Amino acid sequence: MPPASAPRRAKAIKIRVATPNDLAAIVRHRRNMFRDDLGSSAVALNAMERTSAPFIERGLREGWYHGWLAMASGRAVAGAGVIVYDWPSNPRAPEQTQRAYLLNVYTEPAFRGRGIARRLVSRAISWARRNGFSALWLHASKAGRPIYSSMGFVPTNEMKLQLR
């Protein structure tokens, strides 16, 4: 059950575009996302923060990381981001030489179940459409999969070989 101070409805939450000044909140959400989803150790999470923070900061400054934060009482309680990266085109979108990848979707536990993640993902989808992307990619956590499926995301034929 959420604390009494937590807003009861998603409407009390304001969504805004993230800036480089929001780096600490984005990195905090990324850390908590991996802690909650994978049960990653503090040592692994600390190492990830050291490398992720400068990467995300550079992306925000250079314009290839686009983020949104859900704000409650002036504090970021949820967030999502899209990274744009170079990728060879394919027959479905021969003019497209970049991909848009949705990541860092996280809502603090006290604010879950209010549609905040859905609102953030909707913002990301709208942004990707406005910017001419033919698809939006993501890696879905088990908890996030129902939300993404309900928004039209489908499993793909990708596979992975874990090298270490």
Indicate the residue type of 153.
F
User: What integer is the mean pLDDT of 29-48?
Assistant: 92
Reduced DSSP (H G I as helix, E B as strand, rest coil) percent helix, strand, coil of the chain, to 5: 40, 25, 35
Residue 34 confidence (pLDDT) above 90: yes
d(Cα 133, Cα 148) in Å, to the nearest integer?
Answer: 18
- The hierarchical CATH code for the domain 10-150 is 3.40.630.30
pLDDT, one tens digit per residue, over 141-156 is 998 999 999 999 999 9
Q: Which pTM does this prediction carry?
A: 0.89
Report whether pLDDT(2) > 80: no
Domain boundaries, the chain: 10-150
Q: How far apart are CA 27 and CA 4, in angstroms?
A: 26
Chain segment 78-108, per-residue pLDDT in tens: 999 999 999 999 999 999 999 999 999 999 9
Three-state SS for 62? helix
Residue bearing tokens 């034929």: 157
